[in-house]
């Protein structure tokens, strides 16, 4: 039993060294400000050091192996902790500006609302606008999910609808995204290693939804959300507060803990409370099932009906040049107002 216990302990310690070494190698690969050759050399050296520690561990030098590896790992964590997000990089045009906001009574004025006219992913006319929204006229909240990599992965957007006083609604959509630098592309693995800053975009739907369906070829679904007026108002203001916080202090995107869905969940949890943690908050493609389970979607309809009616990809493509884009994509989508 003694031999078995020692062997088991060494196996567990070996696994711990291997897992932390894998994390260190990826951190060095993504975060060292060196040339590719320099990064490769650093990764190889750490790998060799980890293997040497494992060899020493199995030869009876458990204490020395753990001390040497532990000190080196602690020093590396100190380097990691000093990597700070930046507000000064060569950003792509679509995330180059911070959302600004001011409030007077029930009226919120948003500066730097994006309203690009997209003809291609790199062919567009940039427009940044100032818009005013009266919170007393806030009527609806919708969740849009854009699928770009299989059924489990989707980008989450939240759109607010305001009564425009003419029998229609004016929509503004919020999207939490990586703040891409020029020439940079998204990587879920890199998102664990401080590679991307966060950006919060407020945009016209004809910009931020249409670019996904009509330019990038993504599949888009829209779901109307059942929320009391006070909660809708609080969620809108929570987005404003998040935008203000990001403008004051940059923050890193994190694939697991700070992404387009988990940040929305944190805001909603603060407002309504009692929302359960669930794996579908990470596999955001299944977010409609989660929302349906917590009673947040239009009642009286099966989820399959809401999903079928909420697929707006074809309608968005057909409404490409329609100035009433937001109304066109919602035709046939069950609404809260129409539900007894």
| Across 140-147, average pLDDT | 97
Tell whether 217 and 107 lie within a shared domain: yes
DSSP secondary structure string, 197-256? EEEEEEE-HHHHTHIIIIIS--EEEEEEE---HHHHHHHHHHHHHHHHHHHHS--B-BTT
Tell me if 282 is assigned to some domain: yes
Residue 169: per-residue pLDDT? 87
Tell me if 139 is assigned to some domain: yes
Residue 49: per-residue pLDDT? 96
Residue 95, number of CB atoms within 10 A of its CB: 19
Question: Per-residue confidence at 167, pLDDT binned at 50, 70, 90?
Answer: confident
Within the chain, strands assigned E span 100-104, 107-114, 117-118, 124-125, 128-134, 138-147, 154-163, 169-179, 197-203, 219-225
Residue 124: per-residue pLDDT? 97
Residue 108 to residues 111, 131, 138, 171, 237: CA-CA distances in angstroms? 10, 8, 11, 14, 9
**End position of a domain, from candidates 56, 81, 106:** 81
Tell whether 219 and 245 lie within a shared domain: yes
Tell whether 14 and 139 lie within a shared domain: no
- HSE toward the beta carbon, residue 251, CA cutoff 13 A: 21
Tell whether 73 and 147 lie within a shared domain: no
Tell whether 247 and 281 lie within a shared domain: yes
Tell me if 336 is assigned to some domain: no
Average pLDDT, the chain: 94
Structure-model confidence comparison of residues 133 and 62, the more confident one? 133
**End position of a domain, from candidates 49, 81, 113:** 81
Tell whether 147 and 55 lie within a shared domain: no
Is pLDDT at 340 greater than 70 in this prediction?
no
Is pLDDT at 102 greater than 70 in this prediction?
yes
Tell me if 324 is assigned to some domain: yes
Question: Per-residue confidence at 168, pLDDT binned at 50, 70, 90?
Answer: confident
Residue 86, number of CB atoms within 10 A of its CB: 11
| Across 87-105, average pLDDT | 97
| Across 273-292, average pLDDT | 94
Query: Domain range holding 109?
Result: 93-329
Tell whether 56 and 128 lie within a shared domain: no
> CA–CA separation, 224 vs 172, rounded Å?
14
Tell me if 298 is assigned to some domain: yes
| Across 185-200, average pLDDT | 95
Tell whether 29 and 135 lie within a shared domain: no
**% of the chain at pLDDT higher than 90:** 89
Question: Per-residue confidence at 337, pLDDT binned at 50, 70, 90?
Answer: low
**End position of a domain, from candidates 54, 81, 108:** 81
Tell me if 338 is assigned to some domain: no
Tell me if 86 is assigned to some domain: no
Residue 254 makes CB contacts below 8 A (sequence gap 6+) with: 191, 192
How many domains does the chain contain in total?
Answer: 2
Residue 272: per-residue pLDDT? 85
Tell whether 249 and 165 lie within a shared domain: yes
Is pLDDT at 78 greater than 50 in this prediction?
yes
Question: Per-residue confidence at 270, pLDDT binned at 50, 70, 90?
Answer: very high
Tell whether 100 and 57 lie within a shared domain: no
Tell whether 123 and 27 lie within a shared domain: no
- Report pLDDT digits (tens) over 202-246: 999 999 999 999 999 999 999 999 999 999 999 999 999 999 999
Is pLDDT at 164 greater than 50 in this prediction?
yes
Tell whether 13 and 128 lie within a shared domain: no
Tell me if 88 is assigned to some domain: no
Q: Calculate helix-pair angle for 36-58, 2-31, nearest 10 degrees.
A: 170
Is pLDDT at 335 greater than 90 in this prediction?
no
Question: Per-residue confidence at 76, pLDDT binned at 50, 70, 90?
Answer: very high
């Amino acid at each position: 039993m003694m031999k078995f216990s020692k062997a088991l302990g060494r196996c567990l310690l070996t696994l711990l060294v291997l897992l932390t070494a894998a994390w260190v190698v990826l951190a060095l690969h993504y975060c060292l400000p060196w040339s590719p050759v320099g990064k490769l050399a650093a990764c190889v050296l750490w790998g060799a050091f980890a293997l040497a520690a494992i060899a020493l561990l199995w030869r009876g030098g458990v204490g020395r192996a753990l001390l040497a590896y532990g000190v080196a790992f602690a020093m590396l964590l100190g380097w990691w902790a000093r990597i700070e997000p930046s507000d000064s990089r060569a950003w792509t045009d679509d995330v180059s500006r911070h959302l600004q906001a001011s409030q007077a009574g029930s009226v919120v004025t948003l500066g730097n609302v994006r309203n690009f006219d997209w003809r291609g992913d790199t062919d567009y006319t940039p427009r940044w606008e100032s818009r005013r929204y009266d919170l007393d006229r806030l009527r609806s909240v919708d969740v849009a999910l854009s699928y770009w990599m299989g059924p489990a992965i989707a980008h989450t957007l939240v759109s607010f609808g305001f009564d425009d006083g003419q029998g229609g609604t004016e929509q503004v959509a919020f999207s939490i995204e990586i703040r891409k630098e020029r020439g940079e592309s998204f990587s879920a693995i890199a998102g664990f290693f401080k590679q991307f800053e966060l950006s919060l975009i407020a945009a016209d739907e004809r910009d931020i939804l249409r670019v996904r369906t009509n330019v990038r070829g993504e599949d888009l679904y829209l779901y109307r959300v059942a929320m009391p007026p006070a909660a809708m108002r609080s969620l809108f203001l929570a987005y404003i507060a998040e935008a203000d916080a990001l403008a004051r202090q940059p923050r890193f995107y994190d694939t697991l803990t700070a992404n387009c869905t988990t940040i929305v969940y944190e805001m909603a949890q603060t407002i309504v409370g009692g929302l359960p943690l669930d794996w579908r908050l990470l596999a955001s493609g299944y977010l409609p099932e989660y929302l349906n389970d917590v009673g947040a979607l239009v009642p009286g309809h099966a989820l399959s009906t809401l999903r079928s009616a909420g697929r707006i990809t074809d309608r968005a493509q057909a409404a490409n040049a329609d100035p009433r884009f937001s109304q066109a994509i919602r035709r046939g989508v069950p609404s809260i107002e129409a539900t007894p």
